[in-house]
């Protein structure tokens, strides 16, 4: 063994990939843990070195040049019970811990997460990708919990160790935004910054338990599978609703229009008037739909007689017996008052049908 032994980080290692490395003497690997008194330990900036004996972490050395001997390593001296001085050899492994900040570790969901759209309740498969950064905060804890029998700990080891944790926490976070905060999947990318800030805190405690400090955690994107049937249905539903909003009607009205259109295409279009009035009455739009139906019916069947065009509104109510002239809601035939708005339908004195807004009966002059 050389009188003065140099122990330092191997320059052949990639400092951006290797986070911890156990010293190996390249010339004589089997003697790597046999250190002599006055061994020179060189620790570089952004590194720490730890002496291990029988799995026990002894002294920790920070950046600088250190002479190792049983004199200046009290813990080692107590374990070995060796006399000081001379060239006595002692067995101790040396771990170098790289404390540089690593900021570009990738993460992603290997399998899509099944969720439900908060508005349409359509099942959709969601994927997420991004990267995170970390640095070793507590060297002893890091090596003891993650190194084991390995000779080095790399970025890929960290990815594998924490893959399950990350996917679980990020899956919960995405579910919170979509299911609880009601964020549409096509709008969730506008929340990526908020989600990234929350993600750091969700993994911090778990990482710190292993001597690692998470520096950041980014969501690069949250997206869906374009060929997913659920996404196709969702896009179709959103497109249809957007069209309705532009025109200015809702889904029930659209269905009524579809029924009217279907009836218009059938033979015997004269039945369209009744269909239109019935649909309109059910939606609180009897007058509007009744007029639309009558106009469509006359257009489809020009030979059909024009019904009730010259009658006053009250007379139309008396003939049809189904629509309130005040609010347009359906009423029971023979009813004297509208069950929806309470408007009087007939004169309480003579039973004559009333004109909407009249203060006196047109038949007997009774005050309404």
Q: What is the DSSP string of 244-312?
A: HHHHT--HHHHHHHHHHHHHHHSS-GGGHHHHHHHHHHHTT-HHHHHHHHHHHHHHH-TTSPPPSTTS-
E strands, the chain, where?
6-8, 18-22, 34-36, 39-43, 47-53, 56-61, 64-68, 89-91, 93-98, 102-108, 113-116, 123-136, 152-154, 212-224
Based on the fold, state whether residues 28 and 81 are members of the same structural domain.
Answer: yes
Based on the fold, state whether residues 297 and 350 are members of the same structural domain.
Answer: no
Tell me, yes or no, whether 168 lies in a domain: yes
Based on the fold, state whether residues 140 and 51 are members of the same structural domain.
Answer: no
- DSSP type of residue 355: P
Q: Is the dihedral of CA 171, 110, 17, 50 positive or negative?
A: positive
Domain boundary among 291, 307, 323: 307
Domain boundary among 98, 114, 135: 98
Phi and psi angles of residue 353, each rounded to the nearest 5 degrees, phi first: -60, 140
Q: Are 114 and 125 in contact (CB under 8 A)?
A: yes
Compute the average pLDDT of residues 129-149. 94
Question: Can you give the residue range of the structural domain that contains 326?
Answer: 311-368
Tell me, yes or no, whether 15 lies in a domain: yes
Q: What is the pLDDT of residues 291-310, one digit of tens each?
A: 555 555 554 455 545 444 44
Tell me, yes or no, whether 66 lies in a domain: yes
Of how many residues is the chain composed? 368
Q: What is the dihedral of CA 139, 143, 145, 147, to 10 degrees?
A: 160
Domain boundary among 46, 64, 98: 98
Q: What is the pLDDT of residues 4-53, one digit of tens each?
A: 789 999 999 998 899 999 999 888 888 888 877 778 999 999 999 999 88
On the question of pLDDT at 321 being above 60, the answer is no
Please report, for the domain that includes residue 162, its CATH number. 3.30.479.30
Based on the fold, state whether residues 325 and 338 are members of the same structural domain.
Answer: yes
Q: Which SS3 state, helix, strand or coil, does residue 100 take?
A: coil
Query: Which uninterrupted H or E stretch holds 321?
Result: none
Based on the fold, state whether residues 116 and 217 are members of the same structural domain.
Answer: yes
Tell me, yes or no, whether 286 lies in a domain: yes
Based on the fold, state whether residues 170 and 53 are members of the same structural domain.
Answer: no
Tell me, yes or no, whether 239 lies in a domain: no
Q: Which SS3 state, helix, strand or coil, does residue 206 take?
A: helix
Instruction: Let me know the angle formed at the C-alpha of 234 by 122 and 218, rounded to the nearest 5 degrees.
Output: 85
In this prediction, residue 199 has a pLDDT band, given cuts at 50, 70 and 90, of very high
Tell me, yes or no, whether 238 lies in a domain: no
Please report the pLDDT score of residue 203 as a whole number.
95
Tell me, yes or no, whether 179 lies in a domain: yes
Based on the fold, state whether residues 297 and 316 are members of the same structural domain.
Answer: no
Number of domains in the chain: 4
More confident residue, 350 or 101: 101
Overall pTM surpassing 0.75 (yes/no):
no
Based on the fold, state whether residues 266 and 166 are members of the same structural domain.
Answer: no
Based on the fold, state whether residues 21 and 87 are members of the same structural domain.
Answer: yes
Percent of the chain scored above 90 by pLDDT? 37
On the question of pLDDT at 82 being above 50, the answer is no
Compute the average pLDDT of residues 110-119. 87
Show Cβ contacts of residue 287 under 8 Å, excluding neighbours closer than 6 positions: 280, 323, 328
Tell me, yes or no, whether 240 lies in a domain: no
Please report the pLDDT score of residue 362 as a whole number.
75
């Amino acid at each position: 063994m050389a009188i003065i032994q140099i122990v330092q980080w191997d320059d052949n290692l990639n400092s951006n990939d290797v986070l911890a490395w156990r010293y190996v003497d390249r010339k004589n690997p089997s003697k790597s843990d046999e250190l002599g008194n006055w061994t020179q330990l060189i620790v570089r900036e952004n590194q720490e070195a730890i002496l291990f004996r029988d799995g026990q972490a002894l002294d920790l050395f920070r950046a600088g040049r250190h002479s190792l001997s049983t004199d200046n390593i009290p813990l080692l001296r107590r374990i070995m019970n060796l006399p000081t001085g001379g060239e006595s050899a002692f067995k101790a492994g040396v771990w170098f811990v790289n404390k540089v900040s690593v900021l570009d570790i990738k993460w992603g969901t290997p399998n899509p997460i099944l969720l439900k759209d908060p508005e349409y309740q359509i099942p959709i498969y969601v994927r997420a990708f991004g990267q995170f950064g970390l640095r070793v905060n507590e060297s002893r804890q890091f090596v003891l919990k993650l190194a084991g029998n390995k000779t080095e700990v790399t970025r890929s080891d960290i990815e594998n160790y924490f893959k399950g944790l990350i996917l679980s926490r990020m899956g919960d976070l995405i579910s919170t935004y979509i299911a609880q905060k009601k964020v549409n999947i096509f709008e969730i990318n506008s929340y990526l910054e908020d989600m990234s800030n929350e993600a750091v805190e969700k993994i911090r405690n778990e990482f710190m338990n292993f001597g690692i400090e998470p520096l950041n955690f980014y969501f690069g994107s949250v997206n869906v599978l374009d060929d997913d049937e659920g996404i196709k249905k969702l896009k179709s539903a959103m497109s249809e609703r957007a069209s309705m909003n532009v025109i200015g009607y809702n889904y029930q009205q659209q269905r009524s229009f579809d029924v009217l259109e279907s009836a218009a295409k059938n033979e015997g279009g004269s039945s369209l008037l009744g269909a239109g009035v019935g649909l309109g009455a059910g939606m609180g739009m009897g007058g509007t739909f009744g007029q639309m139906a009558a106009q469509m019916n006359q257009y489809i069947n020009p030979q059909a007689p024009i019904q009730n065009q010259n009658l006053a509104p009250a007379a139309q109510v008396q003939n049809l017996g189904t629509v309130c002239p005040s609010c347009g809601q359906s009423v029971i035939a023979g009813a004297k008052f509208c069950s929806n708005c309470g408007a009087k339908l007939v004169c309480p004195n003579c039973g004559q049908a009333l004109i909407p807004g009249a203060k006196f009966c047109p038949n007997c002059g009774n005050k309404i």
